[in-house]
Structure 1
């Protein structure tokens, strides 16, 4: 059966943001060592398990690659990593209307990083399991697709275990940004479809609210070389030239700065202006009342 139709993960209901589901216990359970080091130097990852995710250390919020192919596992900077999707990942688009979102005719060969692991293909997921992140936030993060630069379209989708309808999370043919809400302590894998071989640059952003109400945001570019004939060096040297949307989570009420003891200058101005209007109105009422009383006295004297 095609890798496009036998992937397994739990799918949750989408809310205001599309929600990246938290998978059921199916081999994805993991705990990250808080002392894992950050490796230096370039790395080409073409087989094995890797995750994209945020890290929080000493007040510094970053996006890194958790490389589980290394022994012991390490974190890597995105600028040091190229994910290579070999031709072993080629699948053909199913002849099924449910997969029309792929944007290719049935039978078209495409490169697929599957949701369930293929030992011959790099297995790309994401997690919010860095111990520093879990200690610093309470709810989760917003994972944003900001843009894709490459020779073809990119689609990321989930397939439920009962072969239900695919749930599209990201689609490079749609407007950006494309946000996903990811709960804390989540580890998820999805299907990644690349329409054509070549170098892809995927701009991503992770935003969260810390326990103290502070907003943190990190942006990075994921480098992917699709196809055996695509030079890895081209992926390392490629530069994202497109424009990126301004994003970032909307601050919650707890994160909005409170005015100092002097109050807001605008509020003070409004109060002063309102007071002046009330004074003028009161004077006008008093003057008018005095005129009416004077006119009444004059009429009594005339009578």
Structure 2
């Protein structure tokens, strides 16, 4: 069921009715031969979903654009999501949502419940070939956010429970969302300051044949009326979207880093032991010769 969000209310506020807060889109069917659009696009209103699909046989994270007729898939590197000032809402005076910012702060929100004045951004795993080849589900991972403020993506249940925060750009670690195949979900996207945001997301899955597939790309958001979406399309992430994530340093690696670029501690200890042994030998020899000289003179 699709319902509009009153512009004066922030979707995170518990004043929303349970039915509205839990509203999700109805099931959709994606044709296996759905076209991939080649042009650049700025999406500012209507229903769109981020999701994996096979493009020319290759696993790729794309956006399913349902704003036109017929719907198409789009390359995320050639797509910008425009977030107008019509999306501005006020952070409520509610401790449950203190993670967003101070009460009274103005933030841009693409809500979980459809607002016809802004883009309704969700995700799906409903590409027919994805459903046929993926074993159980897909992991969507936030790997980095570049922007003037923070990004929060969370679900709001209809029972007035706490927000289920899925992605939080204040945290440095990779953040996973598990998505079963044939799933279609929408969430709240909150941006705390206007400007261009580059959001790097990875889609990873294990296939039924035992192979694994992985692709990372950049979601581009132009937040605020004063921000030109072309700036989001032209922006280059500081780190490559397809760069492998840095491996976690082991205790052994950390210890080596702390020692700097000098020789390992074991080598240093061995050298020190040899030096001490050499000194002792010299001392013994010197004392022996001294004693021999004294015996001869006597």
Asked if 1:228 corresponds to 2:236, the answer is: no
Give me the whole-angstrom Cα distance separating, in 1, the residues matched to 2:215 and 2:52: 8
SS in 2 for 1:140: strand
Q: Which runs of 5+ in 2 are unaligned?
A: 1-8, 247-298
Q: Could you tell me whether the CA contact under 8 Å between 1:7 and 1:114 is conserved in 2? A: no
> Normalization by structure 1: what TM-score?
0.73
Q: State the aligned residue count.
A: 235
Q: Could you tell me whether the CA contact under 8 Å between 2:154 and 2:189 is conserved in 1? A: yes
Deviation at 1:177, TM superposition (A): 0.9
1:177 to 157, 174, 177: 174
Structure 1 stretches of 4+ with a deviation exceeding 3 A read: 6-11, 242-248
SS in 2 for 1:138: strand
Matches within 5 A, 1:121-160: 121-160=118-157
- 2:103 is matched with which residue? 106
Deviation at 1:2, TM superposition (A): 2.7
- 1:49 is matched with which residue? 47
2:71 to 70, 73, 76: 73
CA offsets, 1:201-256, max 9 Å, x none?
Answer: 000000001111001001100000000000111111111004777459xxxxxxxx
Give me the whole-angstrom Cα distance separating, in 2, the residues matched to 1:3 and 1:189: 13
**TM-align CA RMSD:** 2.2
Give me the whole-angstrom Cα distance separating, in 2, the residues matched to 1:158 and 1:8: 13
Q: Which runs of 5+ in 1 are unaligned?
A: 12-22, 249-303
Q: Could you tell me whether the CA contact under 8 Å between 1:8 and 1:116 is conserved in 2? A: no
> Normalization by structure 2: what TM-score?
0.75
